[in-house]
């Protein structure tokens, strides 16, 4: 674990026939087709239910207004996930699950529970209040958490920590809120149409609903479900031997999500003052705290890359400037821009793949050193190293350029006296050329010499200036 493998010979071709599933229903294409079919059917059913509830015109108005926050929220979660972006297939599945399957289950379960409570209590008003503050938070957060659980179980390689949990849960909740906003805005438009109110006036229910749900609180559902995602993120960071933690963390996050959701729904029953108190005193600080936690976790991921990859530099897999360049977002962006400008989009794509593979390698080694790597650690490490090795040609010049342009200037050794007759040529050990130190001499140029303890030796460019 401490010494990475040395650069290998070209990998042998895999033996044909190995790793094939025993039955046709275990094939990857069959599973993907079944999942897509399930989500598509759920989408068609939820589409019919919402259209029946709001009418065709109300549905179109709600759809047009509900789409506004979706690109902004997706872009925000992608921005948080810049270190090692989640595959688009995971995000598409999460959004589709929230918008189709979770919304369908929630609408059916909430309606059934509210009717049952109204029948038992013979009080429709209290049934609606109880359904909104108790039933809806439990049902909705549970069905949204199902998407996080599926990604956690079946896409374990893509679920490594807090940031992954935040992104998957946030995208799932964004899809759920999208469908729910269509329903609410469509019903509001129908109310305005029935009462003859202008849709953009101050007394418009549609305008008020749009302001509350789209302008003031587009992050409400993502904020609730992110608590569940953080619980799964802590579970991903826990070692396999800590099974109790891996169960308790997601459950704790789910309970917190339900509690915050219930407080948000219950604030409406206390009037405008109660809503304002919950929004300003509770929701906004919670949103700021979770945003800070996510950004802090992202910085820790970058530090992990810088700390884990030097071991592969020593083994010869990576060059000296790569850990620094791969551990800063600015250098990564500059490397991609350099590759695109100098060689085109294909090379830029290769550099992007190289960055993603190196990041996955750093995270894999970090999990291995902390006892959280699976039984396939050696196989996975070898796969990542082979993939990096095959892309090193076009990627290394781009990363070298980015490291040169972004690395801080290191202090250089102080020369105690001048050499009027030119530099002395005293044999001594020479340190390797480090490309990302701007003032370091280039290959083939003599390194400065200085007396150390009565003998001449090559100075260490990382050492502080002599006092």
What integer pLDDT is reported at residue 372 of this predicted model?
Answer: 76
Cβ atoms within 10 Å of 298's Cβ, excluding its own: 21
Largest Cα–Cα distance of the chain, in whole Å?
104
Token pair in block for residue 333: 């962006």
As a whole number, mean pLDDT of residues 213-239 equals: 91
In sequence order, the β-bridge partners of residue 451 are 456
Measure the N-to-C terminal CA separation of the chain; round to a whole number of Å: 39
CA angle 224, 147, 329 (to 5 degrees): 75
Cβ atoms within 10 Å of 277's Cβ, excluding its own: 12
Q: Contact at 8 Å (CB) between 267 and 278?
A: yes
Q: Contact at 8 Å (CB) between 175 and 140?
A: no
Question: Quick one: which of 53, 65, 135, 145 has its CA closest to 98?
Answer: 145
Q: 346-379, pLDDT tens digit by residue?
A: 889 999 999 999 999 999 998 888 777 777 788 8
Looking at 269-328, list the stretches that DSSP marks H as alpha helix, in order from N- to C-terminal side. 271-278, 284-308, 310-315, 322-326
Best-predicted range by mean pLDDT among 188-192, 196-200, 461-465?
188-192
User: How many Å apart are CA 460 and CA 456, to the nearest integer?
Assistant: 12
Secondary structure class of 128 (helix, strand, coil): helix
Question: Average pLDDT of the chain?
Answer: 80
DSSP per position, 358-388: HHHHHHHHHHHHTT---TTHHHHHHHHHHHH
Choose the weakest-confidence range: 171-180, 321-330, 332-341, 399-408: 399-408
Does the global pTM surpass 0.85? no
pLDDT at 419 over 70: no
What integer pLDDT is reported at residue 48 of this predicted model?
Answer: 92
Residues contacting 337, CB < 8 A, separation 6+: 348
pLDDT at 417 over 70: no
In sequence order, the β-bridge partners of residue 457 are 450
User: How many Å apart are CA 249 and CA 252, to the nearest integer?
Assistant: 5
- Residue whose entry in the numeric block shows the structure tokens 């958490």: 145
pLDDT at 74 over 70: yes
Residue 451: which H helix or E strand, with range?
A: strand 450-452
Q: How confident is the model at residue 25 (pLDDT cuts 50, 70, 90)?
A: low
């Amino acid at each position: 674990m401490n010494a990475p493998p040395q650069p290998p010979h070209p990998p042998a071709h895999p033996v044909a026939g190995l790793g094939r599933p025993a039955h046709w229903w275990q094939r990857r294409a069959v599973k993907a087709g079944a999942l897509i079919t399930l989500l598509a059917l759920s989408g068609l059913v939820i589409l019919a239910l919402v259209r029946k509830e709001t009418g065709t015109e109300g549905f179109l108005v709600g759809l047009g207004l509900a789409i506004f926050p979706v690109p902004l929220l997706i872009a925000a979660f992608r921005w948080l996930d810049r270190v090692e972006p989640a595959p688009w297939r995971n995000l598409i599945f999460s959004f589709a699950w929230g918008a189709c399957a979770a919304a369908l289950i929630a609408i059916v379960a909430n309606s059934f529970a509210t009717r049952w409570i109204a029948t038992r209590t013979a009080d429709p008003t209290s049934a609606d209040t109880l359904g909104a503050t108790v039933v809806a938070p439990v049902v909705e957060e549970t069905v949204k958490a199902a998407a996080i659980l599926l990604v956690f179980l079946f896409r374990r390689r893509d679920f490594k920590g807090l940031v992954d949990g935040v992104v998957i849960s946030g995208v799932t909740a964004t899809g759920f809120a999208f469908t729910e906003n269509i329903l609410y805005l469509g019903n509001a438009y129908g109310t305005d149409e029935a009462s003859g109110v202008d849709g953009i006036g101050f007394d418009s229910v549609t305008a008020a609903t749009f302001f509350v749900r789209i302008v003031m609180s587009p992050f409400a559902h993502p904020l609730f479900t992110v608590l569940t995602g953080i619980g799964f993120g802590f579970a991903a960071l826990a070692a396999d031997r800590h099974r109790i933690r891996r169960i308790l963390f997601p459950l704790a996050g789910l309970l917190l999500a339900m509690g915050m959701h219930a407080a948000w729904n219950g604030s409406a029953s206390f009037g405008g003052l109660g809503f304002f108190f919950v929004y300003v005193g509770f929701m906004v600080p919670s949103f700021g705290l979770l945003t800070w936690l996510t950004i802090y976790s992202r910085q820790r991921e970058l530090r992990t890359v810088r700390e884990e990859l030097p071991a592969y530099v020593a083994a010869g897999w990576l060059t000296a400037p790569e850990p620094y360049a791969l551990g800063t977002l600015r250098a990564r962006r500059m490397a991609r821009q350099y590759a695109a400008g100098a060689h085109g989009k294909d090379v830029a794509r290769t550099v992007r793949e190289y960055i993603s593979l190196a990041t996955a390698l750093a995270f894999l080694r970090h999990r291995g050193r902390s006892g959280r790597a699976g039984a396939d650690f050696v196989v996975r490490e070898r796969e990542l190293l082979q993939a990096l090795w095959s892309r090193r040609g076009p990627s290394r010049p781009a990363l070298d350029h980015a490291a040169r342009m972004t690395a801080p200037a290191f202090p250089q050794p102080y020369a105690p006296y001048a050499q009027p007759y030119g530099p002395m040529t005293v044999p001594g050990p020479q340190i390797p050329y480090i490309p990302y130190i701007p003032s370091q001499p280039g290959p083939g140029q003599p390194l400065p010499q200085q007396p150390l303890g009565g003998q001449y030796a090559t100075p260490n460019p990382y050492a502080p200036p002599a006092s």
